[in-house]
Chain A
């Protein structure tokens, strides 16, 4: 949005004189660095270590998931842009970011067509039908993932993660949250911190998600209020669950480091299009996601709930915006 006024200046043909007074809608002083392309490039930089870790852990299965989703999202973006008679919008990297986040959120064992179907649904139904980038209500990558999750429950659910036959060490056991849900056993915290556990391709390493996320917050590509809200509410609710159960403090950290929580908090929930715009609203949004994640983890049939929590709160984002309109100067 900030580009508009600058682009208007650029649009004046070189031959004509610049008008004495340039008339353009606000904001009049805009940061030249706050463009979609720069933000998306930042996200790609922050995701790079996570991608390296996923390739180290899941070998070519991770490469396949990321490559298929990346390729199909770009292809879908180009195709749908052409159908709508728009110039292709691949250069802003938003489709690439959707593709990589989607690829990182899939289990390593999922066949290639799951990534392809999820990508086309993500871009087509998640984004283009609402009018393209900046218009979508729901996070496109999560729309795609929810579609394949509901469609192919046996290839996407908890059992898909446990594949000893693939010859990958991490995939011989259940994911930490499935182990907790089904057997009540907990995985060593060290492994979850460094990322040596089973899980979706990109979610395993809590450390790398934190590093990438903090980089995004420092660069102001992601706002800090959403991850802060998510983490605080998860810690509080996990604390209550811990007091009710083992009372050792271990469960709190297990919920904090396990599953897609940190990946989702920093990379998925912070999508600027589908989250509220006011700082207070963003915090409320984050608290809501954390609350829903813990409700799903503790009381539903699913071991993990980041995807559904983000989608549900996306639907509430416009309402949160209305609740948290800041007072204008001079208003009572």
Chain B
């Protein structure tokens, strides 16, 4: 059952969208979605790492010894995380400050190891790139939508712009940690409803 490259790309956008369908990568999903900006920044950083780590692991898949493969994947992932961390520090310092420790923590994001182990180590270069890109964009969309909901209710703003009148009382709960859990749970519920599961 060979899938086309386009199918490998689009599966990450809906059918296997990482936080909601695979329920992977929940740590950044909960931690950095206080605002749309944080969500998109995290999503793009993760997409970058996912794309390159998938590509490199796919190229090296016949050289990496199976017994130490996890360690090898982590080294590849950590390399690209360091690259993205230095890039963000240089060019998007505001978002870098906002995301803080969660950028280095991309290393332990389950999506990266999950895609390396489940996909890139078994597939050729092009499908691996498509898979990484699709998963990354799906992850970015998820984080942005969760961030949008939490920002709109929690601060009354969307991407920093006010959406309600001055009389709006923001639901501070939504931008606190428990708000992230409640919001994610309700979104999972809606996704299952929409997916007919």
> Given A125-B182, A129-B185, is A150 in contact with B176 using a C-beta cutoff of 8 Å?
yes
Instruction: Say yes or no: A151 contacts B185, CB within 8 Å.
Output: no
Instruction: Say yes or no: B182 contacts A151, CB within 8 Å.
Output: no
Q: Which of A113, A129, A150 contacts B173 (CB 8 A)?
A: A150
Interface residues on A, range: 10 to 19
| B172 at interface, CB cutoff 8 A | yes
| B171 at interface, CB cutoff 8 A | yes
- Secondary structure of the B contact surface, majority rule: helix
Q: Which residues of B contact A113 (CB under 8 A)?
A: 169
A155 to B172, CA, bound (A): 12
Closest to A155 in B: B169
Chain B residues numbered 156-175 whose CB sits less than 8 Å from any CB in chain A: 169-174
- Name 21 interchain pairs, CB-CB below 8 A, sorted by A: A113-B169, A117-B171, A125-B182, A129-B185, A129-B189, A147-B173, A150-B172, A150-B173, A150-B176, A150-B178, A151-B169, A151-B170, A151-B171, A151-B172, A151-B173, A151-B174, A152-B169, A152-B171, A152-B172, A153-B172, A155-B169
Interface size on B, residues (CB 8 A): 11
Q: Which residues of A contact B171 (CB under 8 A)?
A: 117, 151-152
Q: Which residues of A contact B173 (CB under 8 A)?
A: 147, 150-151
Q: Which residues of A contact B174 (CB under 8 A)?
A: 151
Q: Which 7 A-B pairs have the closest CB atoms?
A: A151-B173, A151-B171, A150-B173, A151-B172, A147-B173, A152-B169, A125-B182
Residue with the greatest number of chain B CB neighbours at <10 A, chosen from A117, A150, A153, A155: A150
| Nearest CB of chain A from residue B170's CB, rounded to whole Å | 8
Q: Which residues of B contact A129 (CB under 8 A)?
A: 185, 189
Q: Which residues of B contact A155 (CB under 8 A)?
A: 169
A83 to B189, CA, bound (A): 13
B-facing mask of A122-150, CB < 8 A → 1, else 0? 00010001000000000000000001001
Q: Which residues of B contact A125 (CB under 8 A)?
A: 182
Closest to B173 in A: A151
A147 to B181, CA, bound (A): 13
A-facing mask of B22-45, CB < 8 A → 1, else 0? 000000000000000000000000
Chain B residues numbered 177-197 whose CB sits less than 8 Å from any CB in chain A: 178, 182, 185, 189
| Nearest CB of chain A from residue B186's CB, rounded to whole Å | 8
Q: Which residues of A contact B185 (CB under 8 A)?
A: 129
A155 to B189, CA, bound (A): 31
A155 to B169, CA, bound (A): 10
| Nearest CB of chain A from residue B77's CB, rounded to whole Å | 35
